[in-house]
Amino acid sequence: MKNILKENIEQLIIDYLIGDITDEDRVLLERLISEDEEVKELYQQSRESFLGAKAALFLKQVDQHAAWDKLSKTITPSLEVKTAKTIHFKKWLVAASILLPLAMVSIFIARNYFSNKQQPQLTYKNEKVKLFLASGESIALDRTAKNKTVNTNMAVLHNEQGTLQYELKDQKDALSYNTLVVPRTKDYKIKLSDGTEVWLNSDSELRFPLEFNADQRVVYLKGEAFFKVTKNPKKPFIVKVNESLDVQVLGTSFNVNSYASNALKVALVEGSVKLNSKGEESLLKPGFMATYSPAGGFSQSTFDDQLVLSWMRGIYFFNNANLNEINEIVQRWYDVKIMAEPGADISISGAIEKDKPLEEFLQNLSATSQLKYKVKENNIIILNK
């Protein structure tokens, strides 16, 4: 075997074993195997280790106990219950002939359930909400931390029940900006110095000063947040989104969603809001939602607060959603990705609740629709069946 060729031959062998090989290459490799002892040996070693690995991986995932549970529950109580022996055999046979069709049906129903049950468990990351202060300090805000008060160089922070409040310590730091980072799977609420409350959704960031300057209140948002702005006609409150959009308000509550940079969404619940992007303006009335895209400018529509604001209650509703729409939420809330086998038809309707494990949502789906899934590498794969 020529050294120059060795790399290529290895590749051909892998192609061959995986079954992703052209006819031409197959013929070439088969010829090489029959003509060259070294190639033959390499092929045999590769094949054996490939099949060995395959078999071992497969056996590792075979769950004999789960299979027995499934079997014994499905076929007959007599496998489990000792007293079943007292039932006369013929009677049992009669009963079985009646029950068998039922049992077959329940196998199919149970298959979903049990196949989910033997799955590896999803693990959820526990990244903490973090506050990065202008002074360079960073503080992890743990909802469950015992110590609710944190003393930093700039301010005293009170972190209670998922809400952050603070008291300024040194006036010279007042106007510099700090960043609150809410990772995937978490959410958080902060009360700013003017009393304005901001609910931050997962995978979102808010930049804010500990105190606002004299003429306006400016904060920066990435991701999604609901604002309840304290009224102050003399000091407009401005949310800067993605550097392209300013949301200017006086006193009001509204939701800003900037997850998709080509469709920034501002939904107004009460009060009034003025949107401004590079000179283009749009006024929003309560009950309306403005969508801004850099290419198309502003457009307005009514919105369903059940759908738009439900994230604050930790719930999302899906209505015939496709995989992308589902993933947008699932990745943000659970940091888990849902993938599908080629050809699997995905259209999902249902509600997903954040404080419940993702499995519960998926199991509900498998129970109510034909959807089957498996857990793999901490991702969900929807099976094509």
Binding site for other proteins (CB under 8 A): 10-11, 13-14, 18-20, 45-46, 48-62, 64, 67-68, 70-71, 74-76, 78-79, 82, 84-85, 96, 100, 107, 339, 342, 377
Burial class for 162, CB neighbours closer than 10 Å (0-12, 13-18, 19+): middle
Q: Which is nearer to other proteins, 81 or 140 (CB)?
A: 81
Least distance from C-beta 166 to other proteins, angstroms? 40
Least distance from C-beta 28 to other proteins, angstroms? 16
What is the DSSP track for 1-34? --HHHHHHHHHHHHHHHHT---HHHHHHHHHHHH
Number of H helices, E strands in the chain: 8, 24
Burial class for 332, CB neighbours closer than 10 Å (0-12, 13-18, 19+): buried
Q: Which is nearer to other proteins, 19 or 279 (CB)?
A: 19
Least distance from C-beta 329 to other proteins, angstroms? 20
Least distance from C-beta 331 to other proteins, angstroms? 14
Q: Which is nearer to other proteins, 19 or 233 (CB)?
A: 19
Distance set, CA 110 to CA 25, 102, 150 (Å):
45, 12, 51
CA distance 128 to 182: 8
Least distance from C-beta 20 to other proteins, angstroms? 5
Q: Which is nearer to other proteins, 80 or 305 (CB)?
A: 80
Least distance from C-beta 4 to other proteins, angstroms? 16
Residues 6 or more apart in contact with residue 12 via CB below 8 angstroms:
21, 25, 28, 29, 32
Beta strand 224-228 with 253-257 is antiparallel
Q: Which is nearer to other proteins, 308 or 346 (CB)?
A: 346
Q: Residue 121 has what DSSP assignment?
A: P
Cβ contact 129:138 at 8 Å: no
Q: Which is nearer to other proteins, 107 or 309 (CB)?
A: 107
Closest by CA position to 203, among listed 225, 183, 187, 226:
183
Q: Residue 305 has what DSSP assignment?
A: H
Q: Which is nearer to other proteins, 142 or 328 (CB)?
A: 328
Q: Which is nearer to other proteins, 76 or 364 (CB)?
A: 76
Least distance from C-beta 342 to other proteins, angstroms? 7
In degrees, to the nearest 5, what angle opens at C-alpha 194 toward C-alphas 266 and 263?
A: 15
Least distance from C-beta 272 to other proteins, angstroms? 43
CA distance 152 to 181: 17
CA distance 218 to 149: 26
Cβ contact 314:355 at 8 Å: yes
Q: Which is nearer to other proteins, 17 or 312 (CB)?
A: 17
Least distance from C-beta 15 to other proteins, angstroms? 8
